[in-house]
Structure 1
Amino acid sequence: MHAMRRVYFLVAAASMRRRFIGFYGRCMRGIAVERQQDLAKAGTGRIRVDDRYGDPTLITGIGTRFTAEIKVGMKVALPKGVGEAKVTAVESDTQLRVAKEMKELAAIELLARAEGTSFKVVPHVDQDEMYHAVYQRLNNGECVGIFPEGGSHDRTEMLPLKAGATIMALGATAANPELGLKIVPTGLNYFHPSKFRSRAVIDFGQPIDVPPELVEKYRKGGEAKREACDELLRIVSEGLKQVTLNTPDYETLKMVQAGRRLYQPTQHSLTMAQQVELTRRFIKGYSVYRDLPEVKELRDRIEDYNLQLRYYGIRDHQVDTMRIGRAEAGMLFVWRLLWLLIMGLVALPGTVLNLPVFIVTGVVSKRKARAALAASTVKVRARDVVATWKILIALGLVPLLYTTYSVLAVLLVRRYQLADVAEWPSSRVYLWSWALAAFMSYTALVFGEQAVDIVKSVRPLFLTLILGEEHTELLARQREDLSDDITDLVNELGPKIYPEFAKTRVPADLLLGDGKKTHDNIINGSADAFHRKMREGEQALRQRIGGGSSSSSLQRVDSSEDSSEGLSTRQQQRSRRPSKYSFSPPTPRTMETLNSISPMEFLTSSSTSSTSAGRAEKTSSGGVPASVAARSSAAASSSNTDQQQFQGGTPATTGPSTPEPQNGMFDFS
């Protein structure tokens, strides 16, 4: 939808063979690709390596039937994907030879056992038909979407990319030099991927031209062909890293996200695209400066702060709401409970109507997630599976449910002759019932989300009532000090690396916080009106109570204007005091390299951002498709490519006080 052109996605052939997924895949004209792991079958008996040092490629079987089950060119794979190798010779039912030794530690442990290990036989797959379909689409000037990791997952970093995308790009260009093919790295950054109506940011990166020299190497075949594919795969991988969030583990991602939230870049709120971009820059900065003592100290303080938030059961943005007295907290507690009741009553009818959807999607998706976790070696919580099955079930169950309700409405009208509706034709009753069910469901979604926000805001008020302002003030003060120190550190490091750091901030009029609505439909407008009325009532309560300084603290959070003024004052105070951090600038050679590219922009303008977004709160890394487009790619031209993205290459040399460059911030070609 955002690229404004049709994209034909590669879909696993195993998925295309499923009843419902295959139906939607064919409707979208997906291109089936057979994956070897989907065709793997359990082998008879067990295998081991008798002489690991003398002859590590000779596999010995125990109760095996190699001659009947395995042919040259197939692969033998160990459990949980710890290792696999291509079969070069089948010598007998109990002996075969593979092309290379399986050197992974887990594989060595399994093969060294006296009783051996179970194994799978992976057949050779002929992909000529799939490549022909891709080349045909590209030669027709169409766009092909590829997920080069080869499967979905919910890890915090990209998996190693498969070579299929590069073979398609190089093969199509080699066959048709006038094709004008481009590869568009596309990042899917999810906030709450397994929840309905959660937001996602789609980020289009710099379009990649296929280098002519790699095409020539590809034409030569053999080792030159493999080198060409490997080099293009490296370029594509670097491009995808610029549009996705990649951290070594989930704990690092949570720590970086907390640092990004505590950083104060401007006096206004950030768009979702800016949040993702800022998180990406924080990850790069952390990968470079994580060994500095100041960074280590802040990391420990952030982890301690996150631990306290989990202890209290609240979120970071709720801390400031606890800086009020018991009297005000009690009044607001009752006030918000009242509004929660109103929101709940509005959302109740639609919630009851859709209760079967919530129950079925929850039960089935969790069951599928458990099965996927048992069979996968790359999934962490299988949230991708949960999201997939929620969508698939809702696509079928919601229309069926509304149809059932509409038919029941027709029967009730005909049986009881309800008022003037009894004179309507059955088709009219059916259509109006269907529309009413959909309207009530959407109203329940919107107002239910507003109610959830109120539920989350009640707990901090309850804690203030129990603990008192003198206790909760400590946590708020800790957050404020931590936020100031992180902002000082980032603002100190930024200009050292990029002299134009201060000039690349986004103007205030381009940021959110100006009161613009994100939804124009009447239901969301009504929900916003409800919230505005609630906020106006809270302001009146505060004035009546006479909250003094603690009341103004909460007003600073609730009002965008007050927030801007408060943060601006703190920023002025921070700018007047000397920085506690001191770093030596990079060497002249590094500065020359840095000045040769566009200056770093922590916050790219929403008017020029190459991102599209929907709705959520906390970022997690998602799929990373690379769109291969032929000729005049509308996706590439509409993406407004990010001029601040870094392309990979040889790390630059830095000064003695600058940590060794890693993964991106100093990687330039």
Structure 2
Amino acid sequence: MAKKKIGYMNNYVYDAFLWVFSILVDLFFREVHPRSSWKVPKHGPVLFVCAPHANQFVDPLILMRVVKKESDRRIHFLIAEKSMKRRFIGAMAGLAGSVPVGRAMDSTKSAVGKIYLPDPVNDPCLIRGIGTDFESKDFQAGGTLSLPPVNNLASNAEIQEILGPEELRLKRPFKGGIPMQQLTGRDDMTEEGQFVDGAEARKGPAPGFEGINFKVAPKMNQREVYDAVHEVLHQGGSVGIFPEGGSHDRTELLPLKAGVAIMALGTMESKPDCNLQIIPVGMNYFHAHKFRSRAVIEFGTPVDVPMELVEKYSHGGRREAIGTMLEMVRQALVSVTVQTPDYDTLMLIQAVRRLYNPKGKKLPLPMVVELNRRLVQGYAKYKDDPRIVDLKKSVQAYNKRLLALNLRDHQVQYAKMNIFMIMWLLVYRTLKLMVLSIFVIPGFTLFAFVFFCGKVISIKKSKEALAASSVKIQARDVMATWKLLVAIAIAPITYTFWIVIFTYWCHRNRVQGYIPEWVPLKLFVLAQVIVFPTITYAALRFGEVGMDIAKSLWPLVKMLSPWSNNELIALQKRREILTERVNTIINTLGPEMFPDFDSKRIITDPFSHSPPQSPGGQPRSETYSFPTSPTSEDSPSKHLPRNESFRDLSNTDFFSTRPSTPKKSRSRHGSLGGFSLKAFSTLDGKDSLDAVSKKIRDTMRERGRRRSSTGDGWEMGSGTTTPGSEELEDALQMSKKDK
């Protein structure tokens, strides 16, 4: 029997697989919001480059779903060969067109002996062994040496040539101070691995150093993988890849693997006119491992593969071309992701974002991601500024105080309320929580075993993944995946159990006489198949509202105590001072970093006494107004997020990936500022096409000026997208086609 082609896709299986898993994704995530999906070409070869890889199997599912819904395209994903060996996952992934990739990290094993650097100053690529046998079959040029992980991060280096049983040479030296210390036993170098003044005079490792244990991985032959990718792209298909090489739970991107650059350059080398587009995709999650979390999937500007790099790749400059292409991809990913060097910095940025929004306006998720990203950019540039250093200490102290009082930032506002309003809110929300509990208990009882198994198994699997990984921090990246997989396996068994129990009860005594005799058992079983999942989903929706309300009760209880009341009032005053400091510093440094800072703002400056100015110098009444909670200033629900109100349940689309907002008209008349386009079929020459294109551009520029005058823009300027650019692209494409 002929061997199945690598990357073969069955469209029917792909769509069925995606439909089933889309339901589970919708249940797990409260909201999945695509951003700038219009940038994905409808036709032609596309290489989706996605990062960070925060959820092992969930990331591809979400992207597959968003791209299918927004662009009607199917994606061939690269998947670890290790994952393909799992029966269910491997079978489904194979039929869905996934391409298996062997990873060196999956084949790493401990080696005999120890290694060290005999001359770290003059020849850091020379490795010498003690009790090793580098001439055995485990070692070969192109293989990888791996050092023991430090802080869950291991250093690797590629072997260039074998010089003998106890000596080999690396292609490039190990990077950083930690691996240099591991290989020399010395501590006279910087964090970057550079020797301090005077250290260069010392030769060899530290006295008495006996080397360090290490692991080795064989060279991986990816020729079949590259051929399969090239074939898909040459046929106008799309390929998805996570260039970090594996999932992780870090706050920054891992170093990108060279494979993505080789795929892009190799595709253009073998077919220069294929017009390959590289689309960077930012997988931005809010608590990716938690149930009912949120995500923003952002598509960046397509990256073209420069033909000069392709020429260099083909004629001797392979390494330089790959390095340049890899840096282009990395820069594109930086533009669509939020990266911080560590978790503490991420918490700092999020705290500053909340303090920068003193009016508490509810920003759409894409705007939250954009504001986080620009705050990270500003912090990276000015982190050594004394004002930023002092502000950082104050914000971190404020965060620690919130943690000590078991409060959230938005709950500090309760300190402004009088005692009678606090008592009313406490009673009102307690009663509301009790009513919601009535709807939650039946569904929770039905699904409790699934929740329990998902929690236990996901924790167990995360511990196993952490022990086997050199890059994970807590292995949270596998938790969401295993919760979904457990739900797929356990939920049908659980529902079947309850159906058998209730059916037997009905057969025995008609459920204590509540089921009429004329109802046949088959109809009763069918009703349970429909009702049980419905009850579970209803409990899920009511339960998440109830949890949000429950979290708001503790601050109200604390406010009833005179001692806690004083603490909250003091914390409220501290917050007001911090808010003014944050806004002052951002408004001072922002224009230095972004020239159009003042003309394009997300949040109005609450401390400015002069009206905002439009680009033309005319005062404007307000900056961009974002959707906020429909509750009034005096409403008891004022301090609760919008999803914590009963009215929000009726506004939620069933299995929707977008926020519940009114549908926007797709009319070209509305999109082009009232300019009515006539049929393009009347175009009979280049002059007519140029005239129409000029009118479209003039109209779009006028619309942009009108939007700027009303503040419809983004703060910190750089990277803003032009409103209506999707309609402009469509119109121009139609013009070209008719021509």
Q: Is the 8 A contact 2:548 2:644 kept in 1?
A: no
Q: Is the 8 A contact 1:155 1:380 kept in 2?
A: yes
Rounded Cα–Cα distance in structure 2 between residues aligned with 1:526 and 1:317: 15
Q: Is the 8 A contact 1:49 1:59 kept in 2?
A: yes
Match of 1:529?
646
The TM-score, its normalising length taken from structure 2, stands at 0.67
Q: Structure 1, residues 174-227: CA drift from partner, whole Å, max 9, x if none?
A: 11111111111110111011112210011111111111111111111x3x1111
Match of 2:571?
475
**Equivalent residue for 2:157, pick from 72, 81, 84:** 84
Match of 1:33?
101
Q: Is the 8 A contact 2:624 2:713 kept in 1?
A: no
Alignment of 1:299-378 (within 5 A): 299-378=392-471
2:227 match: secondary structure: helix
Rounded Cα–Cα distance in structure 2 between residues aligned with 1:259 and 1:377: 32
2:272 match: secondary structure: coil
2:291 match: secondary structure: coil
Match of 1:618?
none
How far is the alpha carbon of 1:380 from its aligned partner? 1.6
2:293 match: secondary structure: coil
Rounded Cα–Cα distance in structure 2 between residues aligned with 1:425 and 1:272: 49
How far is the alpha carbon of 1:510 from its aligned partner? 5.5
Alignment of 1:500-649 (within 5 A): 500-505=596-601, 511-513=626-628, 515=630, 528-529=645-646, 601-602=715-716, 608=723
Greater relative contact order, per chain length (Cα 8 Å cut-off, separation 6+): 1
From the superposition, tell whether residues 244 and 181 of structure 1 become closer, same or farther in structure 2 (CA, over 3 Å).
Answer: same
From the superposition, tell whether residues 67 and 500 of structure 1 become closer, same or farther in structure 2 (CA, over 3 Å).
Answer: closer
How far is the alpha carbon of 1:275 from its aligned partner? 0.6
Q: Structure 1, residues 384-422: CA drift from partner, whole Å, max 9, x if none?
A: 121221122122222332233234333333343455565
Query: Is residue 2:312 matched to residue 1:217?
Result: yes
How far is the alpha carbon of 1:87 from its aligned partner? 5.6
Q: Is the 8 A contact 2:104 2:217 kept in 1?
A: yes
Rounded Cα–Cα distance in structure 2 between residues aligned with 1:469 and 1:67: 72
Rounded Cα–Cα distance in structure 1 between residues aligned with 2:66 and 2:130: 54
Rounded Cα–Cα distance in structure 2 between residues aligned with 1:78 and 1:463: 51
Match of 2:584?
488
1:503 match: secondary structure: coil
Match of 2:86?
18
How far is the alpha carbon of 1:91 from its aligned partner? 3.0
From the superposition, tell whether residues 430 and 100 of structure 1 become closer, same or farther in structure 2 (CA, over 3 Å).
Answer: same
Q: Is the 8 A contact 1:505 1:602 kept in 2?
A: yes
Rounded Cα–Cα distance in structure 2 between residues aligned with 1:205 and 1:312: 41
Match of 2:342?
249
1:502 match: secondary structure: coil
Letter paired with 2:525: Y
Match of 2:703?
none
The TM-score, its normalising length taken from structure 1, stands at 0.73
From the superposition, tell whether residues 135 and 283 of structure 1 become closer, same or farther in structure 2 (CA, over 3 Å).
Answer: same
From the superposition, tell whether residues 77 and 447 of structure 1 become closer, same or farther in structure 2 (CA, over 3 Å).
Answer: same
Rounded Cα–Cα distance in structure 2 between residues aligned with 1:110 and 1:14: 30
Letter paired with 1:77: S
Rounded Cα–Cα distance in structure 2 between residues aligned with 1:420 and 1:257: 54
Rounded Cα–Cα distance in structure 1 between residues aligned with 2:422 and 2:642: 28
Match of 2:700?
none
2:248 match: secondary structure: coil
How far is the alpha carbon of 1:284 from its aligned partner? 0.9
How far is the alpha carbon of 1:72 from its aligned partner? 4.4
Alignment of 1:208-287 (within 5 A): 208-220=303-315, 222=316, 224-264=317-357, 268-287=361-380
Q: Is the 8 A contact 2:283 2:296 kept in 1?
A: yes
Q: Is the 8 A contact 2:159 2:168 kept in 1?
A: no
Identity of aligned residues (%): 37
Match of 2:11?
none
Match of 1:409?
502
**Equivalent residue for 2:254, pick from 159, 177, 191:** 159
Letter paired with 1:464: M
Match of 1:292?
385
How far is the alpha carbon of 1:423 from its aligned partner? 4.4
From the superposition, tell whether residues 82 and 335 of structure 1 become closer, same or farther in structure 2 (CA, over 3 Å).
Answer: same
From the superposition, tell whether residues 385 and 264 of structure 1 become closer, same or farther in structure 2 (CA, over 3 Å).
Answer: same
Query: Is residue 2:218 matched to residue 1:123?
Result: yes
From the superposition, tell whether residues 296 and 101 of structure 1 become closer, same or farther in structure 2 (CA, over 3 Å).
Answer: closer
Letter paired with 1:305: Y
Match of 1:537?
none
From the superposition, tell whether residues 268 and 608 of structure 1 become closer, same or farther in structure 2 (CA, over 3 Å).
Answer: farther
From the superposition, tell whether residues 214 and 423 of structure 1 become closer, same or farther in structure 2 (CA, over 3 Å).
Answer: farther
Q: Is the 8 A contact 2:362 2:629 kept in 1?
A: no
1:261 match: secondary structure: helix
2:284 match: secondary structure: strand
Rounded Cα–Cα distance in structure 1 between residues aligned with 2:491 and 2:649: 32
Q: Structure 1, residues 1-27: CA drift from partner, whole Å, max 9, x if none?
A: 333221221111111112333234224
How far is the alpha carbon of 1:49 from its aligned partner? 5.4
How far is the alpha carbon of 1:69 from its aligned partner? 3.7
Q: Is the 8 A contact 1:138 1:144 kept in 2?
A: yes
Query: Is residue 2:150 matched to residue 1:150?
Result: no
How far is the alpha carbon of 1:525 from its aligned partner? 12
Q: Structure 1, residues 253-308: CA drift from partner, whole Å, max 9, x if none?
A: 11111111111387742101101101111111122222333323322221121111
Rounded Cα–Cα distance in structure 1 between residues aligned with 2:481 and 2:720: 32
Rounded Cα–Cα distance in structure 2 between residues aligned with 1:526 and 1:318: 16
Rounded Cα–Cα distance in structure 1 between residues aligned with 2:579 and 2:457: 42
Q: Is the 8 A contact 1:10 1:32 kept in 2?
A: yes
Q: Structure 1, residues 90-135: CA drift from partner, whole Å, max 9, x if none?
A: 634x565555554654444444575543332311111111111111
From the superposition, tell whether residues 61 and 85 of structure 1 become closer, same or farther in structure 2 (CA, over 3 Å).
Answer: farther
Rounded Cα–Cα distance in structure 1 between residues aligned with 2:127 and 2:388: 50
Match of 1:74?
143
Rounded Cα–Cα distance in structure 1 between residues aligned with 2:132 and 2:422: 73
Letter paired with 2:147: L
Alignment of 1:426-441 (within 5 A): 426-441=521-536
Q: Is the 8 A contact 1:89 1:98 kept in 2?
A: no
Q: Is the 8 A contact 1:325 1:469 kept in 2?
A: no
Q: Is the 8 A contact 1:323 1:472 kept in 2?
A: no
Match of 1:2?
66
Rounded Cα–Cα distance in structure 2 between residues aligned with 1:124 and 1:258: 45
Match of 1:624?
none
For structure 1, the 5+ residue unaligned runs are 517-523, 534-597, 611-633, 639-669
Letter paired with 1:308: R
* Two-structure CA RMSD over aligned residues (Å): 3.4
2:263 match: secondary structure: helix
From the superposition, tell whether residues 527 and 245 of structure 1 become closer, same or farther in structure 2 (CA, over 3 Å).
Answer: closer
Q: Is the 8 A contact 1:268 1:508 kept in 2?
A: no
Of 273-282 and 18-27, more deviation after overlay is shown by 18-27
Letter paired with 1:142: G
Query: Is residue 2:287 matched to residue 1:192?
Result: yes
Query: Is residue 2:251 matched to residue 1:182?
Result: no
Rounded Cα–Cα distance in structure 2 between residues aligned with 1:245 and 1:526: 25
Q: Is the 8 A contact 2:284 2:297 kept in 1?
A: yes
Rounded Cα–Cα distance in structure 2 between residues aligned with 1:402 and 1:609: 48
Match of 1:551?
none
How far is the alpha carbon of 1:431 from its aligned partner? 2.9
1:8 match: secondary structure: strand
From the superposition, tell whether residues 199 and 211 of structure 1 become closer, same or farther in structure 2 (CA, over 3 Å).
Answer: same
2:66 match: secondary structure: coil
For structure 2, the 5+ residue unaligned runs are 1-64, 186-208, 603-621, 632-640, 651-711, 731-739
From the superposition, tell whether residues 328 and 99 of structure 1 become closer, same or farther in structure 2 (CA, over 3 Å).
Answer: closer
Letter paired with 1:436: V
> What count of residue pairs does the alignment treat as equivalent?
540
Rounded Cα–Cα distance in structure 1 between residues aligned with 2:254 and 2:272: 31
Match of 1:575?
none
Letter paired with 1:365: S
Query: Is residue 2:131 matched to residue 1:62?
Result: yes
Letter paired with 1:41: K
